[in-house]
């Protein structure tokens, strides 16, 4: 064991640089598509930090003084110069065998997949599956859709493919069937939509039997009839698709819950055949996880043929989830790319693998035997640095490890506890001895999607699929607190890229004060997943309100039956559940959301239905209702601040108001804006006092609500700038917030605005809904009213639309009738922040812009044709 460890530590990254012999690629099986950096940081080319703390390490100016990273010495005398590979992997690959398991091929008859789907999978790099995937798929009733499934596999182990196969089988088996894939984050939704569209490309389903014989109006053919439509649903999404507009819906938690409510309410839920709940361990997430439980409980209450497929990399008590969902279970610990784990302490690197090295490291790091007293325990040692920036031994090792990885041609992912920490590390890594050519290489690699160095907060580990050869944890903290075992496993699980790496490496850096806690964390078992329905009273309220509003459970017996199907009922005693139900129903009645009908059953009021339709928490819904009622009495229409305030989300953003900025913006408000301020009950004197260091009282409910209004108006000021074509980075700089935070606000506002419009419609406030609907278009476009038509064109948003307008292309027709080559110079003007390529690449650059111009021209022509047809119809 010792010699094998030494073998690995000497050669995995170090010797590749010496031998120039990178590992060969292998078949990509069951892996997710690579992630475009634009999904995280948009058009960020200035080294700014996004909402995840994502930072380009390569964007630092070449004029910045160079630093040189410390060398890392190997201290294991048994180290070899050969490229390391697990001995067991060598044995397996070299052992001759005549047995071929044909069931590992997706073309095997047992899977009954159409040839077109098998071909598409092959084009995505998936030709064979792993033995564990075969065993999981062939569980009782799984392939036929008669049994639900809950399974767990390590990150990078191919767990997504199992769900994809089952979901696509359900959709392909019935020409009218639908499926939902539920994911926690927008970036994952966008990534999965792209992957699934490639997987179903060219596939067609048969027309329902007898469809052509139906009466006109009962069956209406679509232009894309028979194809499988994959649509993404998330806050800020540009497509307002409905249940009838997709076959596979890829959704965030919130959007999936809303879709299911709508489908149950109008009975179209009968078309749903499969629901995939990814990241199932998030069911007890303190903020959003309860929505997973709420969705699944609704589906279980329907008692129809919907196959529920739940998966996660970090599930511990899988049995209780299986019991709740009446599901078959499967667990595997297989990873196609094994991971070597390390602990870094006092500039020394210790083996900490799960096969015994971890226990050995822990014994050596006991309080009575410090690393400095046992030099033979460590495998590698980081030399001290001569640079004052690297005097801190932890930072010095982080930089050295990152530098070593990049110089060997591999990707590295560095996790930090905060956004400022990300920015600091990224700048130092970029200055650590990299040449101008290397910096350019990294910049181009990021732009082309080839990732080398990423510094991020730990939320990135769960937010996107972003593997790297080496994962470095600057520390094990999220903010001030140590991360939990699940998050630690998520971060370390990003090491090793299937098809590019034969092994992955993780390095957890630790300071003396954290040593005991970190070792305990490395040994900790995964936490038991629990119900989140009663961790906040709003959650049980929303559960009950939605079940009543969509008429899934109205009477006493049906409500009790509904609650028996929750995960909560598997964990808590019946009396505890009953107590929370009684309390929740009382609260809903007092808020005016439910009432009794003539038969003694619960029914949702008009207000209750509006709250459910707009996807609001009950207390948030009550707040919105009070705000809108007040606005109906005196809405300020001679400016935009009141409308923008109405569109500003009421969810808790946990924002910190910069009162000095607030005061500066207050001084710039016009008369209309000041009247809105006064109407809302906000006082300039309070803002001035807060800017001078005062404190706001938030002890009573009234004071808390007023503080909420101040926060909301502060966000509305940011929204005002976004609607008036101020770039996101400028808004971020003005309000002293991360660029990604502003971007998240803009996306969230779009979804919230749609909810507010629906709220007003259901409350019978049609005029208010019409006013809000107009401004919602500006919000989506991020532009003033004169650009709304242009902003509908593909690739033409905000700044690009303004540049077209100023160059004389003021209508869709003008762009539709232009030669695409005429649009290229305009597109060049629209990208002033882009780095211009060298002269030898000018032709390639123009070809890229011409391709974009052709897409713009085609989109404009389609829109223009629609406009002309409407004019003909109206004439």
pLDDT at 521 over 70: yes
Q: Are strands 504-510 and 453-457 parallel, antiparallel or unpaired?
A: unpaired
Other beta carbons within 10 Å of 802: 19
- Predicted pLDDT at 241: 58
Give dist(CA 188, CA 744) in Å, integer: 15
What are 823-875's pLDDT values in tens digits? 998 888 887 544 444 444 677 778 888 888 999 999 889 888 888 877 777 66
What are 254-291's pLDDT values in tens digits? 999 999 999 998 889 999 999 999 999 989 888 889 99
Nearest to 157 by CA among 341, 412, 332: 332
What are 630-663's pLDDT values in tens digits? 888 888 888 889 988 988 888 766 678 999 999 9
| Whole-number Cα distances in Å, 558 to 292, 368, 548, 565 | 21, 62, 10, 11
- Predicted pLDDT at 425: 79
pLDDT at 556 over 70: yes
Helix or strand or coil: residue 344? strand
Lowest-pLDDT range, 131-140, 324-333, 507-516?
507-516
Nearest to 852 by CA among 811, 805, 788, 796: 796
Structural domain boundaries of the chain? 39-77+338-523, 102-207+224-331, 537-603, 618-782, 790-874
Residues 328/147, Cβ–Cβ less than 8 Å? yes
Domain 102-207+224-331 shares a fold with domain 618-782: no
- Predicted pLDDT at 300: 95
- Predicted pLDDT at 60: 42
- Predicted pLDDT at 378: 76
- Predicted pLDDT at 367: 52
223 pLDDT band (50/70/90 cuts)? Answer: low
- Predicted pLDDT at 51: 32
Nearest to 178 by CA among 274, 297, 263: 274
Site of tokens 């009838």: 244
Nearest to 52 by CA among 463, 402, 332, 329: 463
pLDDT at 54 over 60: no
The CATH number of the domain covering residues in 102-207+224-331: 3.40.50.300
- Predicted pLDDT at 171: 95
* Distance, CA of 517 to chain centre: 29
**658 or 55, higher pLDDT:** 658
Which residue intervals of 266-328 are DSSP H helices? 290-302, 318-325
Lowest-pLDDT range, 332-336, 568-572, 699-703?
332-336
Q: What is the mean pLDDT of residues 799-806?
A: 86
What are 91-104's pLDDT values in tens digits? 334 444 556 788 99
Residues 754/238, Cβ–Cβ less than 8 Å? no
19 pLDDT band (50/70/90 cuts)? Answer: very low
- Predicted pLDDT at 488: 85
Other beta carbons within 10 Å of 806: 11
- Predicted pLDDT at 672: 92
What share of the chain in percent tops pLDDT 90? 35
Give dist(CA 414, CA 398) in Å, integer: 8
pLDDT at 514 over 70: yes
Does 3.40.50 match the CATH number of domain 537-603?
A: no
Structure tokens at 818: 């232009």
> 583: Cβ–Cβ under 8 A, 6 or more apart, which residues?
537, 540
b/e per residue, 76-111, with b = 16+ CB within 10 A?
beebeeebbbeeeeeeeeeeeeeeeeebeebeeeeb
For the entire predicted model, the pTM comes to 0.78
pLDDT at 90 over 70: no
For the domain made up of 618-782, give the CATH fold: Sec63 N-terminal domain-like fold (1.10.3380)
Residues 793/840, Cβ–Cβ less than 8 Å? no
pLDDT, mean over the chain: 79
What would you measure as the largest C-alpha separation in the chain, in angstroms?
Answer: 91
Q: What is the mean pLDDT of residues 665-679?
A: 93
> 732: Cβ–Cβ under 8 A, 6 or more apart, which residues?
48, 738, 739, 741, 742
CA angle, corner 791, sides to 786 and 795, nearest 5?
Answer: 150
Q: What is the mean pLDDT of residues 131-145?
A: 95
Residues 163/232, Cβ–Cβ less than 8 Å? no
What are 157-170's pLDDT values in tens digits? 889 999 999 999 99
- Predicted pLDDT at 4: 35
Residues 158/336, Cβ–Cβ less than 8 Å? yes
Residues 233/250, Cβ–Cβ less than 8 Å? yes
What are 736-757's pLDDT values in tens digits? 887 778 877 887 887 888 889 8
Lowest-pLDDT range, 125-129, 362-366, 649-653, 777-781?
362-366
- Predicted pLDDT at 583: 94
603 Rama class: left (phi>0) / alpha (psi -120 to 50) / beta = beta
The CATH number of the domain covering residues in 39-77+338-523: 3.40.50.300
What are 165-196's pLDDT values in tens digits? 999 999 998 888 999 999 988 878 888 999 99
- Predicted pLDDT at 34: 34
* Distance, CA of 331 to chain centre: 25
pLDDT at 39 over 80: no
- Predicted pLDDT at 797: 78
> 243: Cβ–Cβ under 8 A, 6 or more apart, which residues?
178, 259, 262, 263, 266, 268
* Distance, CA of 840 to chain centre: 38
Length of the chain: 875
- Predicted pLDDT at 25: 30
Helix or strand or coil: residue 249? strand
What are 420-462's pLDDT values in tens digits? 777 777 777 766 754 444 444 544 554 454 657 778 777 666 6
């Amino acid at each position: 064991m010792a010699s094998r460890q030494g073998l690995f530590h000497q050669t995995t990254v170090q010797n590749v640089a010496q031998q120039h012999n990178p590992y060969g690629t292998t078949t990509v099986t069951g892996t997710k598509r690579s992630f475009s950096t634009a999904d995280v940081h948009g058009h960020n080319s200035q080294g700014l930090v996004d909402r995840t703390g994502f930072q380009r390490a390569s964007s630092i100016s070449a004029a910045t003084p160079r630093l040189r990273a410390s060398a890392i010495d190997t201290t294991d005398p048994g180290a070899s110069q050969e490229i390391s590979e697990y001995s067991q992997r060598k044995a397996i690959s070299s052992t001759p065998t005549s047995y071929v398991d044909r069931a590992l091929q997706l073309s095997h008859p047992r899977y009954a997949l159409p040839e077109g789907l098998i071909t598409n999978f092959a084009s995505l790099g998936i030709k064979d599956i792993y033995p564990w995937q075969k065993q999981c798929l062939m569980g009782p009733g799984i392939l036929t859709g008669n049994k639900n499934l809950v399974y767990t596999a390590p990150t990078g182990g191919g767990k997504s493919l199992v769900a994809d196969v089952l979901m696509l089988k359900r959709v392909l088996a019935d020409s009218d069937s639908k499926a939902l894939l539920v994911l926690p984050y927008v970036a994952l939704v966008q990534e999965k939509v792209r992957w699934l569209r490639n997987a179903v490309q060219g596939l067609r389903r048969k027309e329902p039997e007898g469809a052509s014989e139906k009466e006109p109006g009962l069956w209406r053919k679509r232009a894309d009839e028979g194809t499988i439509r994959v649509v993404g649903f998330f806050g800020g999404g540009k497509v307002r698709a409905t249940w009838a507009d997709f076959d596979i819906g890829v959704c965030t938690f919130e959007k999936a819950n809303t879709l299911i409510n709508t489908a149950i309410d109008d009975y179209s839920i009968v078309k749903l055949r499969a629901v995939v709940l990814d990241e199932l361990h998030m069911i007890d997430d303190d903020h959003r996880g309860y929505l997973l439980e709420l969705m699944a409980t609704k589906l279980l209450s329907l008692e129809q043929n919907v196959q529920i497929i739940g998966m996660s990399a970090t599930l511990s008590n899988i049995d209780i989830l299986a019991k709740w969902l009446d599901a078959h279970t499967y667990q595997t610990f297989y990873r196609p790319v094994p991971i070597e784990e390390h602990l870094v302490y006092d500039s020394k690197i210790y083996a900490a693998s799960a096969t015994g090295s971890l226990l050995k490291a822990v014994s050596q790091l006991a309080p009575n035997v410090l690393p400095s007293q046992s030099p033979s325990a460590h495998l590698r040692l980081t030399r001290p640095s001569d640079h004052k920036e690297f005097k801190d031994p932890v930072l010095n090792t982080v930089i050295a490890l990152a530098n070593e990885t990049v110089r060997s041609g591999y990707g590295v992912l560095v996790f930090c506890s905060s956004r400022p920490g990300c920015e600091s590390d990224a700048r130092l890594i970029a200055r650590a001895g990299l040449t101008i050519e290397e910096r350019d290489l990294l910049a181009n690699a990021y732009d082309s999607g080839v990732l080398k160095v990423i510094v991020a907060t730990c939320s990135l580990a769960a937010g996107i699929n972003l593997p790297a050869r080496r994962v470095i944890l600057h520390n094990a903290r999220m903010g001030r607190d140590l991360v939990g075992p699940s998050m630690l496993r998520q971060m370390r699980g990003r090491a090793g890229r299937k098809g590019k790496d034969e092994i992955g490496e993780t390095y957890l850096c630790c300071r003396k004060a954290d040593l005991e806690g970190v070792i305990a964390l490395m040994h900790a078992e995964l936490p038991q997943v629990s119900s989140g329905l009663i961790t906040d009273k709003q959650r049980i309220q929303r559960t009950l309100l939605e079940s009543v509003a969509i008429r899934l459970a109205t009477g006493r017996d049906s409500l009790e039956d509904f609650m028996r199907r929750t995960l909560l009922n598997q964990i808590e005693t019946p009396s505890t559940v009953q107590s929370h139900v009684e309390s929740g129903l009382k609260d809903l009645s007092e808020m005016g959301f439910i009432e009794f009908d003539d038969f003694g059953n619960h029914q949702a009021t008009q207000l209750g239905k509006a709250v459910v339709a707009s996807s609001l928490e009950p207390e948030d819904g009550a707040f919105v209702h009070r705000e809108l009622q007040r606005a109906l009495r005196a809405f300020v229409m001679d400016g935009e601040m009141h409308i923008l305030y109405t569109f500003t989300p009421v969810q808790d953003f946990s924002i910190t108001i910069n009162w000095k900025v607030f005061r500066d913006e207050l001084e710039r408000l016009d008369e209309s804006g000041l009247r809105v301020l006064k109407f809302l009950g906000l006082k300039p004197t309070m803002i001035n006092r807060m800017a001078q260091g005062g404190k706001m009282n938030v002890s009573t409910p009234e004071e808390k609500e007023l503080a909420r209004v101040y926060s909301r108006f502060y966000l509305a000021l940011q929204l005002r700038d976004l609607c008036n074509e101020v770039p996101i980075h400028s808004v971020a700089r003005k309000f002293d917030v991360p660029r990604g935070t502003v971007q998240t606000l803009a996306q969230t506002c779009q979804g919230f605005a749609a909810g507010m419009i629906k709220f007003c419609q259901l409350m019978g406030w049609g005029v208010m809904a019409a006013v809000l609907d107009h401004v919602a278009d500006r919000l989506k476009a991020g532009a003033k009213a004169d650009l709304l038509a242009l902003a509908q064109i593909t690739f033409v948003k905000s700044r690009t639309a303004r540049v077209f307008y100023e160059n004389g292309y003021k209508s869709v027709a003008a762009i539709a009738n232009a030669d695409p080559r005429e649009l290229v110079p305009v597109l060049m003007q629209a990208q002033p922040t882009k780095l211009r390529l060298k002269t030898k690449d000018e032709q390639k650059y123009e070809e890229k812009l011409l391709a974009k111009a052709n897409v713009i021209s085609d989109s404009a022509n389609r829109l223009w044709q629609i406009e002309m047809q409407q004019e003909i119809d109206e004439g």
